[in-house]
Amino acid sequence: MGARARRGAAGVGEALSARRALLAWYRANRRDLPWRRTRDPWAIWVSEAMLQQTRVETVIPYYERFLRRFPDPAALADAELDEVLGLWAGLGYYARARSLRAAAAQVVECHGGRVPDSVEALQTLPGVGRYTAGAVASIAFDRPAPVVDGNVARVLSRLRGIREPIDGAAGRAQLWAEAEVLVRGPAPGDLNQALMELGARICLPRAPRCPACPLTRECAARAAGDAEALPRRAPKRRPRRVHAVAALVVRGGRALAVQRPPRGLLGGLWELPGGEVATARAADAAALARILRERLGLKAGAALPCGSIQHGFTHRTLRLRVFRCEAKPGRVRLAGWDRHRWVTERAFAALPLGTLARRALALASRREGEDRS
């Protein structure tokens, strides 16, 4: 595969030395985490899906609840999306849950309900990329498959002195080449977890704990005295500012909940009806009335302002102004949502909601008259 020819790729001797040090350190210092007490590929796969961009401490209770309800792919494949998203609510990045459910269905249909044991087969499943396939194959099946996540990228960038931005093609290629060299040998699953653990606990983004690192003597960044300067990334664009309005629309003691389409941002989750507006100044009751008319076919009475919420997404920052209003008689005609329900406010809160929708519902449910924006 040409890894040896790539700049920065470790030689066999360097790799063996680093492997021995990493494995010894990991076996003496690894955290006792629930997914490390099993070789069940399904449990390992669920943990990897949840751990993407989410802290270990946050994941543990979700992981345990999820596996109690869905102990194998067949159980998840048979579940309603609302129930799956409800158990995922609060973890964020809901596409992970939708993809995991779709992949479970494919495992049942194409693999007899058994998680495939090769990287190639795993990567045919929805939502399973090179990292997840490598993690499951190595940890559950002892396949010498490399992994590169944020923690691993930081460790390898510093260890081998990789100066290319790791979010560019050249930097990514170097990282995967290094990971592939290191994973060859006994206990590939432990080796991959050692890299992850080292990045999470020792090779930190700021103030790395170099004296406690088992790779101090091999570390190029430590020798150069600039560990905190690595890894390098291309400059990020500033998040785009977006403004929107939403309302708790009530009628006869019940509130209107709308469900987003299954694909796209926050797909399949429920929320308060509303929509984007051009500017912060345009986020007013008149804009809300227009959106409710155009997207729901409803006329509403006077809108009571309840406050504003700011919420960050990956590439944008949303400022949402929240209202409460009474809906006049009329049939709901959805435009842009999949389903709607008239529910009690308590039942609304029990639906699968994203963090933003949950905050907006709480704000609108206070029933206070003053604008807290």
**Of 14, 48, 64, 326, which one is the catalytic site residue?**
48
Cα 67 to Cα 42: distance, rounded to the nearest angstrom: 9
d(CA 152, CA 144): 16
- Specify whether 64 is catalytic: no
Residues in contact with 240: Cβ distance below 8 Å, sequence separation at least 6, in sequence order: 315, 316, 317
Q: What burial class does residue 158 get, using C-beta atoms within 10 Å of its C-beta: 0-12 exposed, 13-18 middle, 19+ buried?
A: buried
Q: Which residues pair with 307 in a beta bridge?
A: 322
For 50-87, the DSSP string reads: HHTTS-HHHHHHHHHHHHHH--SHHHHHTS-HHHHHHH
Q: Which of the 8 DSSP states describes residue 116?
A: P
Identify whether 352 is preceded by a cis peptide bond (ω within 30 of 0). Answer: no
Per DSSP, 3 falls in state G
Distance CA 139, CA 191 (A): 9
Q: Which residues are catalytic?
A: 48
